[in-house]
């Protein structure tokens, strides 16, 4: 399918994030996303439609930006792509891409809208579509775990080559976990110098507990100044949860935690949480161990 780029972008795109998204990505970031796109092709197998969930352990790690950039990069290759904003408690996809906030997913799942009126063409590519979160519902987890959601994904799979779903953080709500059985795998976004070891341990424990397919980590806000690759970023493998890819890319936007304060647990949280040591346990694992004893 030929890819036609649209000539203008919507004025509602979040201007503060423009330098870390889409055509404004630096060379290292753009190449990292292309590498991620290639690895997704190989890791999800031969399917008519691949459904990828993108989540994180905590708020502020860059999962929504990553979801948008991943779907954008896939659309660049000519594939027909749908980005779904399933973070219905704190939706942001519409501001990043520049589309209407509603009607969207919540309206569709509640039976208040039809697919034709909720799925929007992005301002960037004619083969890249957006399903915004819609009006904020009182019961996001119930909607995402419903049979209607399962049926919707099956229906959309017949139309698109890829579906990328922006999911809430695993450690905060159960939304990402209830939808995971209908995906081909989950990507966990980890922000350097921000993500805590305990939060990541808990996130991976929850993913393993429900036996969800884990595709790997995407590491954001990577510092490449001391790397031999310079601005090209750095790539590696870590072993605690298997040989999963880590993709480094560098951007400078600062996020806050849910309470508005910068997280104080710094640099090596990702490496420690995914390293060879098996001595650490999440709070849930410790609780289960104590109950068995």
Distance of CA 210 to the CA centre of its chain: 19
Quote the pLDDT of residue 172: 87
Q: Do residues 217 and 270 make contact, with C-beta atoms less than 8 angstroms apart?
A: yes
The pLDDT of residue 2 is: 44
Q: Which pLDDT belongs to residue 82?
A: 98
224 Cβ neighbours under 8 A, 6+ residues apart: 28, 230, 231, 232, 233, 234, 248, 250
In the numeric block, which tokens belong to residue 107?
A: 């309206």
Q: What are phi and psi of 55, to 5 degrees?
A: -140, -170
Q: What pLDDT was estimated at residue 4?
A: 56
What is the reported pLDDT for 220?
84
What is the reported pLDDT for 43? 83
- For residue 217, the cross-strand partners are 188, 246
Write out the chain's pLDDT in tens, 293 residues. Answer: 445 555 444 434 444 444 455 666 778 888 888 998 999 888 887 788 999 999 999 988 889 999 999 999 999 999 999 999 999 999 998 998 999 999 999 999 999 999 989 999 999 999 999 999 999 999 899 999 999 999 999 999 999 999 999 999 998 888 889 999 999 999 999 998 888 899 999 999 999 999 999 999 998 887 655 443 333 333 333 333 333 333 333 322 222 333 333 333 333 433 343 332 333 344 555 566 556 55
Domains in the chain and their CATH numbers? Answer: 15-253+263-292 (3.40.50.300)
The closest of 91, 104, 131, 98 to 12, measured between CA atoms, is 98
Handedness of CA 278, 281, 285, 288 (dihedral sign): positive
Residue with tokens 């098996």: 278
Q: What is the pLDDT of residue 289?
A: 55
Contact 55, 170 (CB under 8 A): yes
């Amino acid at each position: 399918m030929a890819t036609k780029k649209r000539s203008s972008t919507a004025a509602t795109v979040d201007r503060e994030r423009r330098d870390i998204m889409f055509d404004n990505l630096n060379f290292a970031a753009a190449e990292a996303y292309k590498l991620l796109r290639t690895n997704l092709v190989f890791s999800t197998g031969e399917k008519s439609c691949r459904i990828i969930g993108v989540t994180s352990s905590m708020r502020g790690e860059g999962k929504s930006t990553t979801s948008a950039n991943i779907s954008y990069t896939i659309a660049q290759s000519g594939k027909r792509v749908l980005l779904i904003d399933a973070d219905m408690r704190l939706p942001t996809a519409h501001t990043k891409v520049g589309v209407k906030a509603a009607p969207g997913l919540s309206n569709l799942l509640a039976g208040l809208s039809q697919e034709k009126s909720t799925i929007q063409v992005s301002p960037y590519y004619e083969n890249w579509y957006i399903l915004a979160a819609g009006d904020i519902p009182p019961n996001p987890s119930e909607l995402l775990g419903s049979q209607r959601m399962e049926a919707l994904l099956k229906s959309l799979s017949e139309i698109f080559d890829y579906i990328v779903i922006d999911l809430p953080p695993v450690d905060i709500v159960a939304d990402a976990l209830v939808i995971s059985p209908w995906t081909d795998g989950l990507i966990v976004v980890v922000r350097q110098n921000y993500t805590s070891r305990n939060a990541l341990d808990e996130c991976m424990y929850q993913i393993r507990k429900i036996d969800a397919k884990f595709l790997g980590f995407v590491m954001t806000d990577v510092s490449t100044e001391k790397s031999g690759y310079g601005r090209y970023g750095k790539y590696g493998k870590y072993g605690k949860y298997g040989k999963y890819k880590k993709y480094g890319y560098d951007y400078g936007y600062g996020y806050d935690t849910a309470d508005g304060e910068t997280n104080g647990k710094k640099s090596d949280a990702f490496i420690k949480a995914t390293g060879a040591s098996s001595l650490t346990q999440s709070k849930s694992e410790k609780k289960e161990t104590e109950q068995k004893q």
